[in-house]
Structure 1
């Protein structure tokens, strides 16, 4: 007798590379792959542990993509979706409305359920019988809890000055009480949550504030269940030392260039009462790889043939400015999409100024321009002419000097129709009107 729990997480639909390259085809491919693996796994229940979307206002295409994928998974087994820190209850409520055939189906007929509320009495605790009816899978689902939500949604004054970890311990203990209430010998307990557990290794594509150590849940405070289906960290991994198997399923695609070494996957937990669960990790193959290349152009050329169809970030080490660098790299990597090129040259490093820096320590405008033009091979007489032009531009009239400049006097005279005979002692050009017009032109 076993219960089979299929675990996926952190789809982040709508995520872009470098903030401008959409990945719709990749998401479609990987969601299809996840569905096919789920079909082969024949699970009793499917858990998505948070962050369906990458932002709080997903596009209509991403909403459609999520609804289509969840409906497909719901045909295989009941699905529980935990709200992540990128999700909002409003969006998930609308998604539920879509999946319930615009609200025409009763809740007990809907195959996809959403956990969006962590307040006492509103936690989602669901029970699903296995295919043969021999066991029951109980799922306690804890959505992401932002630190500020404790101040507004949890009224217990005793926790007002408690740390985030202490508050999370109370909430998780409440989940366990509800989950284990009247537990029978054939009940399998699953804790599904979107949170950062101490000891987990982030990919650094998560929001920095959400993986700060001040907002980490203590591993030993997790509810003692048969399997922990965790979301939030994009690197697939197991959390050890807590007395039961708890896994981050991770994101299905490499989210950014901090994940170039991550192999993405989904998890099948096969659980039997009284025995250590059998964990099967299935790698995902869909989606383009993210690749970082660094070195001289010759070194990059030697490895470029192995890159293929990928998103690529390139750092080129050069001795000086390289003409047509982007075109050269594009020819080297014809199947790749280059999203960023960084050119590193000795002596061209950017120096960070600190509070001790004074104006005397800063280079002058003239020095900066001369250095910039010299790097670009503007030298000799050409450089002298440019620097001379800069000096003339900088020789503006003194703003406190009320004496009119010659151009202003010319225009005034022309407007008044006065004649001119030459240049007077004040520097005003005088002479005929035609002479003035010629000078101005």
Structure 2
């Protein structure tokens, strides 16, 4: 039986309100390495977003390479470039530490043809089986701008192009395929329609019109997906099983309480796969408390060692709330302590259900919801309305740079002969 370990979306370098997560990354990455040693997979797949930034620091590079080298000691390890990763960095990492250097690390920096690195083959079960892996790192929609003649790319262009690319990889998987020996796997960093995003992803990268229809995924034994931070299976696919491994840490407070995991997949050719999420318990948790001082004091022990946001009910806004809360939960890493705000009439929009409010009214309601005093909010709304009216003019006033350019063109000079 072939065994795969699937992890994803480490986002090394991520901070939390300027608090370092280095301690948490070291703890959870060590846990992943321990799971790899214990489970003994034939192949390890990281499905993208190794780093949080396309320009990671040397500390993040060292943390990544130390961990990946330890994983490669267990089994060949394939790492896809996600939307946060730099293909250039991945190309460099592959050059200095890839299979040509004797390491079992494979950095997939860009999409490739099946016969040029888009499909990889690995022995499993001591050579009795093979894992055939098709790899699709993040493919940006900008890649397909030239597909439309006049107006640039359309959402249909992107969906159709991605469907074609996945079909091409699926065809490559079947070339030389031995149904009695081969387990087919697809690894990709993309957003599949129907998946539940977390609040920690970039909103622009998880828009519905860039979602890939689940039925477009290749018909494989397992689809190892990255990009979405909430661990979850994906329904409606032609694959026997498809799953987002998710991020190994809770990356923001929208993920507070969310269980994190890696995925172990057991597969035999021609048989249903067995998908086994393995919980990750290392790394400090995120928590949000809403209630009174008394209720917080009664539950203070629950928040020891957590990153904590506190919203106090029945209290007025007070600059001393933070120190008071910190004294009650001294063992928590206090991120914020604020008084709960009740909605005021200024925060409500006077519109019927289904009506679209005017932009100035919506802006006024937003400022009120953020606690901006009415006098200051009115000044901002007035300036906002004036800007909107200028945009609506058929002949808006020129920008200062435009006026300077027009003056220069009107008073041209020639060099004396």
TM-score normalized by the length of structure 2: 0.79
Quote the offset at 1:323 in angstroms: 5.6
Question: In 2 relative to 1, CA 87–269 (structure 1 residues): closer, same or farther, beyond 3 Å?
Answer: same
User: Contact 1:117–1:123 at 8 Å: present in 2 too?
Assistant: no
Give the counterpart of 1:300 among 266, 286, 296.
296
Partner residue, 2:80: 82
Q: Aligned pair 1:117/2:110, yes or no?
A: yes
Question: In 2 relative to 1, CA 27–10 (structure 1 residues): closer, same or farther, beyond 3 Å?
Answer: same
- Aligned ranges for residues 88-237 of structure 1 at < 5 Å? 88-100=86-98, 106=100, 109-120=102-113, 122-151=116-145, 162-185=156-179, 186-237=181-232
Question: In 2 relative to 1, CA 351–64 (structure 1 residues): closer, same or farther, beyond 3 Å?
Answer: same
Q: Distance in 2 between matches of 1:38 and 1:215?
A: 34
Partner residue, 1:4: 3
Q: Distance in 1 between matches of 2:136 and 2:149?
A: 19
User: Contact 1:164–1:216 at 8 Å: present in 2 too?
Assistant: no
Q: Aligned pair 1:272/2:265, yes or no?
A: no
Question: In 2 relative to 1, CA 156–191 (structure 1 residues): closer, same or farther, beyond 3 Å?
Answer: farther
Partner residue, 1:324: 320
For residues 355-392 of structure 1, the C-alpha deviation after alignment (integer angstroms, 9 at most, x for no partner) is: 455xxx999x99859xxxxxxxxxxxxxxxxxxxxxxx
- Aligned ranges for residues 376-387 of structure 1 at < 5 Å? none
Partner residue, 1:291: 287
Quote the offset at 1:281 in angstroms: 1.2
Quote the offset at 1:224 in angstroms: 0.3
User: Contact 1:56–1:88 at 8 Å: present in 2 too?
Assistant: yes
Q: Which deviates more from structure 2 when the two are superposed, residues 264-273 or residues 160-169?
A: 160-169
Q: Distance in 2 between matches of 1:85 and 1:319?
A: 43
Give the counterpart of 1:310 among 306, 309, 330.
306
Quote the offset at 1:99 in angstroms: 2.2
Question: In 2 relative to 1, CA 342–16 (structure 1 residues): closer, same or farther, beyond 3 Å?
Answer: same
For residues 152-187 of structure 1, the C-alpha deviation after alignment (integer angstroms, 9 at most, x for no partner) is: 6x8999x96533222211111011011111211211
Give the counterpart of 1:66 among 49, 64, 67.
64
Partner residue, 1:263: 259
User: Contact 2:112–2:118 at 8 Å: present in 1 too?
Assistant: no
Question: In 2 relative to 1, CA 321–83 (structure 1 residues): closer, same or farther, beyond 3 Å?
Answer: closer
**SS, match of residue 166 in structure 1:** helix
Partner residue, 1:393: none
User: Contact 1:164–1:217 at 8 Å: present in 2 too?
Assistant: no
Quote the offset at 1:202 in angstroms: 0.9
**SS, match of residue 303 in structure 2:** coil
Q: Distance in 2 between matches of 1:346 and 1:44?
A: 56
Q: C-alpha root-mean-square deviation of aligned residues, in Å? A: 2.9
Q: Tell me, which stretches of 5 or more residues in structure 2 are unaligned? A: 350-357, 377-417
User: Contact 1:164–1:214 at 8 Å: present in 2 too?
Assistant: no
Question: In 2 relative to 1, CA 277–312 (structure 1 residues): closer, same or farther, beyond 3 Å?
Answer: same
For residues 237-288 of structure 1, the C-alpha deviation after alignment (integer angstroms, 9 at most, x for no partner) is: 1112324101111100001011113111111100001111111111011100
Give the counterpart of 1:242 among 218, 237, 249.
237
Partner residue, 2:13: 14
Question: In 2 relative to 1, CA 292–136 (structure 1 residues): closer, same or farther, beyond 3 Å?
Answer: same
Quote the offset at 1:219 in angstroms: 0.1
The structure with more radius of gyration: 1
User: Contact 1:63–1:95 at 8 Å: present in 2 too?
Assistant: no
Q: Distance in 1 between matches of 2:140 and 2:129?
A: 34
For residues 292-318 of structure 1, the C-alpha deviation after alignment (integer angstroms, 9 at most, x for no partner) is: 111222222222221111001111223
